[in-house]
């Protein structure tokens, strides 16, 4: 039986818990802040261990899955790895903090653990990481969203979102700056950077498009392997329009790879 800890019980945590409900090969624990503990216990029932601190668990999980935001990566990453758990990060944008990334990487090396980074809301990350082994020369990430999706961001000061008639690029730079300036793109940009050429060498183009059918993500890469172009048009979770359904499904895939006879 695999012991899995979910850190956080928001949209992704709930989706994952529902997806593995009744799975005999998984023992599930959930960590939430004290104000949400009773509510979480009522939702998941007595079969699931609910805690508010790591030291409350009856045993160390083999896999801790962060589903609670950037602050949770900083708070729980090192303690989980040091205790013997592999640490799975859904809020990959937190790793744009170079000091945090180094601490987690060092902890994984010292304690022989793993810092696991999922593909999340995008596809092609496996091919990009494989291509890096042979040598990458260029990686470019393009994000295209409806103008309304950029409200409340620095885009409002860079472009008149109300008057757009066609797709318009309003920002171009590297993945590190993109993640810091536009946190809603941080996870995707950071994942691509970590899989490929790093934060400074990964090009990012952000676009507002009144005709965009949703959030469009495009990865383009060149190298010794050849060329690739992957485009994703993702749908959000029904329970939270700001969360990609594929991001939640990538967590379930990680669990299935732990429990199944075949790993893909």
181 burial (CB, 10 Å; 0-12 / 13-18 / 19+) is middle
C-alpha neighbours within 13 Å on the C-beta side of residue 150: 27
Catalytic-labelled residue, pool 3, 15, 70, 217: 217
Q: Is 217 a catalytic residue?
A: yes
Cβ-proximal residues to 7 (8 Å cutoff; 6+ apart), any chain? 13, 31, 64, 65, 66, 67, 68, 72, 76
DSSP letters of 29-92? Answer: EEE--GGGHHHHHHHH-TTSEEESSGGGSSS--SEEEE-S-HHHHHHHHHHHHHHT-EEEES-G
For the annotated catalytic residues, the residue numbers are: 217
């Amino acid at each position: 039986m695999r012991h899995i800890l979910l850190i956080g019980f928001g949209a992704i945590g709930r989706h994952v818990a529902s997806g593995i409900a009744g799975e005999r090969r998984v023992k599930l624990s959930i960590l939430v802040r004290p104000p949400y503990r009773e509510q979480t216990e009522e939702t998941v029932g007595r079969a699931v261990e609910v805690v508010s601190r790591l030291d409350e668990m009856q045993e160390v999980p083999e896999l801790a899955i962060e589903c609670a935001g950037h602050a949770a990566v900083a708070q729980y990453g090192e303690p989980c790895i040091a205790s013997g758990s592999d640490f799975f990060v859904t809020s990959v944008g937190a790793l744009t903090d170079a000091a945090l990334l180094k601490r987690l990487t060092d902890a994984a090396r010292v304690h022989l653990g793993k810092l696991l980074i999922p593909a999340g809301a995008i596809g092609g990350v496996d091919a990009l990481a494989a291509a890096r082994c042979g040598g990458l020369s260029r990686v470019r990430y393009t994000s295209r969203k409806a103008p309304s999706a950029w409200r409340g961001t620095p885009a409002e000061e860079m472009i008149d979102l109300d008057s757009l008639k066609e797709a318009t690029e309003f920002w171009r730079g590297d993945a590190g700056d993109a993640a810091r300036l536009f946190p809603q793109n941080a996870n995707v940009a950071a994942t691509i950077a970590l899989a490929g050429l790093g934060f400074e060498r990964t090009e990012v183009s952000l676009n507002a498009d009144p005709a965009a059918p949703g959030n469009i993500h495009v990865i383009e890469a060149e190298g010794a392997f050849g060329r690739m172009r992957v485009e994703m048009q993702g749908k959000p979770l029904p329970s939270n329009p700001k969360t990609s359904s594929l991001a939640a499904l990538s967590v379930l895939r990680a669990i299935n790879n732990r429990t199944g006879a075949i790993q893909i």
